[in-house]
Amino acid sequence: IKNVIIILKALNTTVNITEKIKLEIEKTKLDIERVKLNIKKKKVITEKKKIIIKKIKLNIENIKLTVQQKILRLVNNYYKN
């Protein structure tokens, strides 16, 4: 019976070590996934910034066009009169 108890204790310890190793591996995998998600998040933020810059450029172009139209109207009205 003592041999059985010793074997059970040994098996229990071995299983616990194995489980700890598995948990460490899972933890490492989760850490890697977090890093990947952070990289993706940074890429998305960069893309958003690029889109915002493009919108600003478009707004500037629209303003330029509006000013040009007003100038053309003024010139056109001047020559009509």
Distance from C-alpha of 59 to C-alpha of 65, rounded to nearest angstrom:
10
Max CA separation in the chain (angstroms): 118
What pLDDT does residue 13 have?
A: 61
Tens digits of residue pLDDT in 20-64: 788 889 889 999 999 999 999 999 999 999 999 999 999 999 999
What span, in angstroms and rounded, lies between the C-alpha atoms of 41 and 49?
12
> CA-to-CA distance for 79 and 81, rounded, in angstroms?
5
* CA separation for the pair 81, 76 (Å, rounded): 9
Place of tokens 């915002």: 52
- In the structure encoding, which two tokens stand for residue 61, read together? 């172009």
Q: Give the pTM.
A: 0.57
